[in-house]
Structure 1
Amino acid sequence: MGYWQKEETMSLDEKKVLQGERLIQTVESVYKNVPFYKKKMQDMGIEPGDIKSIDDLSKLPFTTKQDLRDNYPYGLFAVPMEEVVRIHASSGTTGRPTVVGYTKNDIDMWADMVARCFTAYGVTKKDIVQVAYGYGLFTGGLGAHYGGEHLGATVVPISGGNTKKQIQLIEEFGSTVLACTPSYALYIGESMRNMGIDPRSTNLRVGIFGAEPWTEEMRAEIEDLLGIQAMNIYGLSEIMGPGVAFDCEEKNGLHVNEDHFVPEIIHPDTLEGQPYGKEGELVFTCVTKEALPLLRYRTRDLTSLQGGTCSCGRTLVRMGRITGRSDDMLIIRGVNVFPSQIESVILKVAEVAPHYVLIVERINNLDTLEVWVEAKEGLFTDAIKSLEKVEKHITSELFSLLGLHVKVKLVEPKTIERSEGKAKRIIDKRKK
């Protein structure tokens, strides 16, 4: 498997010089164009001239998801709106999304990065890439789509869901690459079996999977079921979308595209930098983005970094699999879900009490979310229709907020365990 660009094999010195030059330009841009960053830096007694190399990165302020919400929708953009050609967004804890913008150059650069990832997976212009990530405000679908086209591959933009149609197109179009969440790939494979189709009989040879945490065990299961190479892709909308980091043929950590995103690992409580090999919270600084160049963005993802040259020849630093999050976010079929989002819906429903629990399970290799909510006194003595009406109402409200079908179950008063400390809101029954 070859390399897409020379930056993948830069020496450490070359990389530091390039990152330093780009960091200096980025800091000057945000100081001049983003009042939020100018104030943050002034409060810390920092001026752009204080940033002389990549070694000065730790002098800069952190950025959090809350900062994006506080500056909703466009307050952190570093260019005028007439230069923004695309908007993406992800849902937030209160229903207010975090909004990200892209200039034409940002879009081109993103496509280039995803093509770099695809090349590492052995994808070429001869491949037919079936993109079964969701299209729309979610970055997965269009990110994979533009990357595949930029590489010169044939792209089938089917989006997520409609499993029978997915299988039909895999067979009839001869798709060789499947891009979707890993749990959906397993579901597609099992659906093939149920339809009497051997999942290993298709032309599929590579899977590009991301948007939710998955284990090496799941990778092996997917590869065995579909007879493909299952490759990992990592990204988040605030930083760019898919293409921030990628597997190589060694499958020994994800290479971070360090010429665009400078990674750090910090202690999530003390915020102190951590050395290679030490697990902590992943932080990214964007050094090439024009519309939304975030400084030291706290991803809340927990992982570690590994330096040195990989057996594949790349010198890009590698990040381990995400082991968890420093907050309580769930990822269900590629959708970010916070307990506080659920709570925001429940608290508006007069017939229920503010006591609930989220039960996460993996059924037929698809993550499912069930919400148990306590009904108020008296509701259980009413007709069953009353219960069903409230359940349907909450289900509908959650779908409007999350874009995800969630099963809602009303339970009798005082049946959900109380806590004097932190409430245990999540029961995760998925296999670790």
Structure 2
Amino acid sequence: MGKFRSPEIETASRHTMRIVQSDRLADMVRRVYENVPFYKKKLDECGIRPEDIKSVDDLSKLPFTNKTDLRDNYPYGLFALPLGQVTEIHASSGTTGKQTVVGYTENDLKTWGECAARAITAAGGTHEDVLHVSYGYGLFTGGLGLHYGGQAMGSTVIPASSGNTARQLTIMQDFGSTILCCTPSYAMYLGESREEAGIPLSAIHLKAGIFGAEPWTEQMRKSIEEKLGIKAYDIYGLSEVMGPGVAFECECQDGLHVNEDFFIPEIIDPETGEVLPDGEYGELVFTCITKEALPLIRYRTRDITCLTHGTCACGRTLVKMGKPRGRSDDMLIIRGVNVFPSQIEEVLLHTKGVTANYQIVVERVNNLDTLEVRVEMAPGMDFDAVRLVEEKEREIKGRLHSVLGLSASVTIVEPKSIERSEGKAKRIIDNRHTYD
């Protein structure tokens, strides 16, 4: 039996959870109908009145919300409260359009802290731990989300933010950091930098890491654990729904427990919108049933995963979501074949002689899509041995063809030649729009 932050919820029966969810769902739908003109119009168009939603069984009657809806109502059009009652504002990066703006009341921030605290507890954290937060602070939700979780735990929080890696390693040694929170790609970079600086694992006190904000594989988990001497835990969240802490891994590490007393998850067919049964992969959808400032109905995350119900070996009964395979909007369609970056990463991380640092480059040549994978050779390999490099490129190309079902060119490049990231790694360079 693992340790729990909120045992009455984390180990609740399905009957109890349904009662909690049904009451909160009905209340939330009434609130948005009365306070958010966008949702009132949408529900009226569907012929739905608030009193029609009595339990979670009625969830499928409700319409979907997507990122475009948030952008069309930028910045505060979907808020359910006047700005004077909103305590904090966050926003997405806005790299593909207008930022999506998220508001939090004081109660919303307490909920966020509770969710993140459950994740920290599941990773073995207590009030005695020193939480080293290397997610970016600011409008991005990563840094402050874990910060609030650490505060809710009563832990000591170091708001290191991202960047200045040498200083981060010094802080870890001098301040006694015990739990590291950052993106998995930055954790890898910290591990590499520790090795290069000749800092022994005995000089740092880390026992666990809580990593999220980008997809990562089991092989990458093992590499991080070896380089930092820790147990690495996944955490899931997205700014529109709350931030990190929507779901989290326990010690069993076979799925992420969803904090479903706050967020009701569904899996749908991304093409038809049909709700899929347990175990089937599709698009993850969340309904925020307690948020006061920005409650969302059936928000389409674009993340591809599955859900499973039951009692975990850790003792939690919270529904589990699988590690996301990728995003439906990050999925590349190459010559009619669906390609997820995580598939390519899995191949590379199981190949000796190359590192986890790679880029995927898509071009259009003579109206035909081409796929190139650039990956760094591991330090210590003989980059000048042309024959060895060519053999390794052919090996990876064959493995990729077997997994993807299409041909990709592979280029092995010198160590450290692919730009490192101190936040989310930029893996995909899609140049096809240049030719459209």
TM-score when scaled to structure 1?
Answer: 0.78
Q: Distance in 1 between matches of 2:306 and 2:120?
A: 23
**Contact 1:115/1:148 (<8 A) preserved:** yes
Opposite residue 145 of structure 2, the aligned amino acid is G
Output one character per residue of 1:6-40: Cα deviation in whole Å (capped at 9) or x when no partner. 10011000000100000000000000000000000
Alignment of 1:263-412 (within 5 A): 263-328=265-330, 365=356
Q: Distance in 2 between matches of 1:275 and 1:404?
A: 32
Opposite residue 195 of structure 2, the aligned amino acid is R
Alignment of 1:11-30 (within 5 A): 11-30=13-32
Is 1:209–2:208 an aligned residue pair?
no
Q: Distance in 2 between matches of 1:405 and 1:307?
A: 32
Q: Distance in 2 between matches of 1:326 and 1:22?
A: 29
**Contact 2:17/2:261 (<8 A) preserved:** yes
Distance of aligned partners of 1:366 and 1:101 in 2 relative to their CA distance in 1, 3 Å threshold: farther
Output one character per residue of 1:261-310: Cα deviation in whole Å (capped at 9) or x when no partner. 00000000010000000000000000010000000000000000011111
Q: Distance in 1 between matches of 2:270 and 2:99?
A: 23
**Contact 1:234/1:244 (<8 A) preserved:** yes
Pairwise CA distance, 1:91: 2.6
Provide the secondary structure at the position in 2 that maps to 1:123.
coil
Q: What's the counterpart of residue 12 of structure 2?
A: 10
Provide the secondary structure at the position in 1 that maps to 2:246.
strand
**Contact 1:187/1:364 (<8 A) preserved:** no
**Contact 2:134/2:181 (<8 A) preserved:** yes
Q: What's the counterpart of residue 128 of structure 1?
A: 130
Q: Sequence identity of aligned pairs in percent? A: 59
Pairwise CA distance, 1:95: 3.5
Q: What's the counterpart of residue 147 of structure 1?
A: 149
- Larger deviation: 75-84 or 92-101? 92-101
Is 1:138–2:140 an aligned residue pair?
yes
- Larger deviation: 198-207 or 300-309? 198-207
Distance of aligned partners of 1:406 and 1:22 in 2 relative to their CA distance in 1, 3 Å threshold: closer
Distance of aligned partners of 1:417 and 1:117 in 2 relative to their CA distance in 1, 3 Å threshold: closer
Distance of aligned partners of 1:259 and 1:176 in 2 relative to their CA distance in 1, 3 Å threshold: same
Provide the secondary structure at the position in 1 that maps to 2:118.
helix
Opposite residue 14 of structure 2, the aligned amino acid is L
**Contact 1:183/1:367 (<8 A) preserved:** no
**Contact 1:281/1:299 (<8 A) preserved:** yes
Q: What's the counterpart of residue 111 of structure 1?
A: 113
Q: Distance in 1 between matches of 2:360 and 2:138?
A: 22
Provide the secondary structure at the position in 2 that maps to 1:118.
helix
Pairwise CA distance, 1:112: 1.1
**Contact 2:9/2:261 (<8 A) preserved:** yes
**Contact 2:93/2:140 (<8 A) preserved:** no
Output one character per residue of 1:160-216: Cα deviation in whole Å (capped at 9) or x when no partner. 011000000011111111100111111111111111112354210010100100011
Distance of aligned partners of 1:301 and 1:200 in 2 relative to their CA distance in 1, 3 Å threshold: farther
**Contact 2:363/2:431 (<8 A) preserved:** no
Alignment of 1:236-275 (within 5 A): 236-275=238-277
Opposite residue 288 of structure 1, the aligned amino acid is T
Provide the secondary structure at the position in 1 that maps to 2:47.
coil
Output one character per residue of 1:195-247: Cα deviation in whole Å (capped at 9) or x when no partner. 11123542100101001000111111111221111001000000000000000
Opposite residue 203 of structure 1, the aligned amino acid is H
* Count of residues in Structure 1 that have an aligned counterpart in Structure 2: 357
**Contact 1:187/1:366 (<8 A) preserved:** no
Pairwise CA distance, 1:329: 7.0
Opposite residue 95 of structure 1, the aligned amino acid is G
Output one character per residue of 1:100-151: Cα deviation in whole Å (capped at 9) or x when no partner. 0000110011111111111111101111111000000000000011100110
Distance of aligned partners of 1:174 and 1:289 in 2 relative to their CA distance in 1, 3 Å threshold: same
Provide the secondary structure at the position in 2 that maps to 1:171.
helix
Q: What's the counterpart of residue 383 of structure 2?
A: none
Distance of aligned partners of 1:261 and 1:240 in 2 relative to their CA distance in 1, 3 Å threshold: same
Provide the secondary structure at the position in 2 that maps to 1:293.
coil
Q: Distance in 2 between matches of 1:329 and 1:59?
A: 29
**Contact 2:11/2:316 (<8 A) preserved:** yes
Opposite residue 171 of structure 2, the aligned amino acid is L
Opposite residue 249 of structure 2, the aligned amino acid is D
Q: Distance in 2 between matches of 1:198 and 1:183?
A: 21
Q: Distance in 1 between matches of 2:13 and 2:307?
A: 17
Q: Distance in 1 between matches of 2:270 and 2:315?
A: 32
Q: Which runs of 5+ in 2 are unaligned?
A: 333-347, 366-422
- Larger deviation: 130-139 or 321-330? 321-330
Q: What's the counterpart of residue 77 of structure 1?
A: 79
Provide the secondary structure at the position in 2 that maps to 1:101.
strand
Provide the secondary structure at the position in 2 that maps to 1:281.
strand
Opposite residue 136 of structure 1, the aligned amino acid is G
Q: Distance in 2 between matches of 1:86 and 1:329?
A: 33
Q: Distance in 2 between matches of 1:116 and 1:25?
A: 25
Q: Distance in 1 between matches of 2:306 and 2:73?
A: 30
Opposite residue 229 of structure 1, the aligned amino acid is K
Distance of aligned partners of 1:417 and 1:175 in 2 relative to their CA distance in 1, 3 Å threshold: closer
Q: What's the counterpart of residue 347 of structure 1?
A: none
Is 1:223–2:250 an aligned residue pair?
no
Q: What's the counterpart of residue 158 of structure 1?
A: 160
Q: Distance in 2 between matches of 1:138 and 1:157?
A: 14
Q: Distance in 2 between matches of 1:115 and 1:210?
A: 15
Pairwise CA distance, 1:372: 8.5
**Contact 1:369/1:406 (<8 A) preserved:** no
**Contact 1:69/1:96 (<8 A) preserved:** yes
Q: What's the counterpart of residue 413 of structure 2?
A: none
